[in-house]
Structure 1
């Protein structure tokens, strides 16, 4: 009898059949339903980022109790603080998460562990660079921005404390990037939530004083933030180095490997230009509106607070997409990676746009929280009715930015941000030649959001994801 086509059953030495090989454990980020997995990863980020918004509101409240000069000092240093946090978190942290996710998607845990160690070196070096840069050049920068007298002194005091420990937030966001690259969103988000609570409590106590604790003013507020960050760094470091995470940074016997730095920096370094350009765009637009008086500027500020709050939703969804896209790219499942990107983009566009449109129709729901001055309320209503419906495009752009980080193809969304900067600057110059009104500039702001969103989406459409020559058909590797 022929044996052709008959499967041979493996046996051991006792002639008993061996059990069938175990099926590989599925990775939900690569194998699971896209929308459900995305939302499962995003919800902890929504809570954590909302807590960050509460910190901004709380700090503004108790710094205001220190006096108008302290409030003005915070306005001077706030852009530098935001720049530090967005660069270390969303930009370089996204680069770290992307590199680790792509390594895990390819099933290379050893590479992911080596990347994590190099990521910590990058975070340490950039933290030291920010520390030295702000301690040496910070006072001069604050003076150039208009700081004088007590306002400048308070601002310098804050900078000396906060940026004296600049390594701490950089390491915190690097650890968070490592965890997010493995698909662990809950621990970084939980620590962001607890850190926000600590910041509010410690910043208030050290800033305003309580019982036997004297008021340290702006220095105390900065110290409260650093203490909260140190706690988060300690917990994440313990969790990762204890082996509880999917990757453990290879610190002992580490050999510097430049391709590892390149893999992180080709995403993270390019991404850093996005927050830089965003801050510059807001600065230019604020300067343009200043000519119309305090009420118009204040009205725009009320609308900008809504923008900050709503884009946190898009950030949460976008950050969740980074490991999903990165692992899909690492597994050479480019078609799935693109479906993840578009799913995240739709969720961000709809969720941000829905809330913003309701506020545009009923602006007093938001404006009444901040002011009862009729001139400011009128300016806020005008801005929100014009610009708020376009916040959806900001949500889309943020989502495309993070998805592109996961694919290590972030140049397109960064250039889209450049296009928006040029659009605002050129449009503002053109309007200034025609005796414009504030409403004209509000329309310019709204149009710039559409430009940013459309170009960010177009960059994803026209940019090739995955290595050159790689098939776009999905390969299903066995991943743990």
Structure 2
């Protein structure tokens, strides 16, 4: 990772994750398809829970998970193998704490949140049933995702990819009979989708623990004394990244709530359409995971210029792929929406969003890729600023349209599309003009040190011959 061509190495690390996460995402689409047989209330219930569920998934994979990957990659790059191993147990402790936090938050605040998003009657009941199940299993979800992040940070992408593929197949096999009933298996409805997810993450957690106890693992799981310097290595990047993830998902929650003012069909349509936004995540996460590891290892080894080149190579690749997907979605949005519903109002509500947001996906891809590069470098302030700005524009712009301008839902979709462009632009400008690797600060520190040494050890004129 410290030498050789960048793009081939980036793609070699990214493609196993990309293929497997694409399969996992398609399984999620298939699960939504099966839930669709239960009716609009069930679809709406899933749509109401989806932002909070994605918040947890993104925080455990890309937020605090990114902190784990970054800390381990930098430790490996600097040759601190014992620290890299110790960071695995610290990651488990973090996972247990945040898993318990999400379980409590969903149980206590879920009903109020789903009502605020427009849920009521049977749709709210479906949302609560699904939410109580999936967030009840938050701890194994967090442990599995942070252990996967630890392996990826150490450069092993194959084991997490393989376990994800097996889990996707398991979920696909379990979802239809559990949701719809099959032979002796009773029809569990929306709860069946929750049970399928729980089984997958329990199996994944056990498999990760077993593998990371063996010598084949690049980093070993063993119980060690908790050290603040190691916890800080994870949380210093992970907490700020988690804030960025929280802001991103808060934007989705705000947008869902704003769309909810236009009725159940609008919520369902937007919920299904915005799943394409999240379909981009596996693509970006695949390249981003490779970017975190490669940038982190090179920063740890002091190879800053190579780390910068890796970051821009990954950003260009991500922007190109997401841009093509966005254009296709904008041109033929009905193809995507037709996968979930045959209700004309639901389809049109979602298609209207995709026509406006699709062309801006290129900026979303650019911004997310530079976010991952910043994680690898351990500097994530500007990506958080970009996420905060996006949230503020969506909130204030949406509020103005509804409260002051009496705007239509299509105008709200224009605001949402604009926030994607803002997110990408801020990240790109900050990365290009700023100091994402702390290089300028290091050079300034070295300069000040040289001046201090010169002042404390002046050369005497008498010593000059």
For Structure 1 versus Structure 2, the TM-score category normalised by the shorter chain is 0.7 to 0.9
Spell out the pairing of 1:151-162 with structure 2 (5 A cutoff): 151-162=123-134
User: 1:76 aligned to 2:51?
Assistant: no
Q: Which residue of 2 aligns with 1:356?
A: 326
Supply the distance in 2 between the matched residues of 1:213 and 1:371 (Cα, whole angstroms).
26
Q: Are residues 441 and 243 of structure 1, via their aligned partners in 2, closer, same or farther at CA, if it must alter by over 3 Å?
A: same
Residue by residue over 1:372-398, the C-alpha shift from the partner in whole angstroms, topping out at 9 and shown as x without a partner, is 666666555554343211100001111
Q: Which residue of 1 aligns with 2:407?
A: 436
Contact 2:44 2:267 in 1 (8 A): no
User: Which stretch of structure 1 is more off in the superposition, 215-224 or 345-354?
Assistant: 215-224
Supply the distance in 1 between the matched residues of 2:116 and 2:416 (Cα, whole angstroms).
26
Contact 2:47 2:272 in 1 (8 A): no
Q: Which residue of 1 aligns with 2:455?
A: none
Q: Which residue of 1 aligns with 2:308?
A: 338
Q: Are residues 355 and 79 of structure 1, via their aligned partners in 2, closer, same or farther at CA, if it must alter by over 3 Å?
A: closer
User: Which stretch of structure 1 is more off in the superposition, 445-454 or 341-350?
Assistant: 445-454
Supply the distance in 2 between the matched residues of 1:95 and 1:64 (Cα, whole angstroms).
36
TM-score, with structure 2 as normaliser: 0.87
- Higher-helix-fraction structure: 2
Q: Which residue of 1 aligns with 2:14?
A: 42
Spell out the pairing of 1:43-58 with structure 2 (5 A cutoff): 43-58=15-30
- Aligned-pair CA distance for 1:317: 1.1
User: 1:409 aligned to 2:376?
Assistant: no
Spell out the pairing of 1:237-276 with structure 2 (5 A cutoff): 237-251=209-223, 254-276=224-246
Of the three residues 51, 57, 76, the one matched with 1:85 is 57
Supply the distance in 2 between the matched residues of 1:35 and 1:407 (Cα, whole angstroms).
19
Q: Which residue of 1 aligns with 2:419?
A: 448
Supply the distance in 2 between the matched residues of 1:444 and 1:140 (Cα, whole angstroms).
26
Q: Are residues 154 and 421 of structure 1, via their aligned partners in 2, closer, same or farther at CA, if it must alter by over 3 Å?
A: closer
Supply the distance in 1 between the matched residues of 2:100 and 2:257 (Cα, whole angstroms).
32
- Aligned-pair CA distance for 1:144: 5.3
Q: Which residue of 1 aligns with 2:75?
A: 103
TM-score, with structure 1 as normaliser: 0.84
Q: Which structure: larger Rg?
A: 1
Supply the distance in 2 between the matched residues of 1:190 and 1:336 (Cα, whole angstroms).
30
RMSD value, Cα: 2.6
User: Which stretch of structure 1 is more off in the superposition, 420-429 or 93-102?
Assistant: 420-429
- Aligned-pair CA distance for 1:143: 5.1
Which blocks of at least 5 consecutive residues in structure 2 are unaligned?
445-465
- Aligned-pair CA distance for 1:464: 3.9
Number of positions where the alignment pairs a residue of Structure 1 with one of Structure 2: 442
User: Which stretch of structure 1 is more off in the superposition, 47-56 or 405-414?
Assistant: 47-56
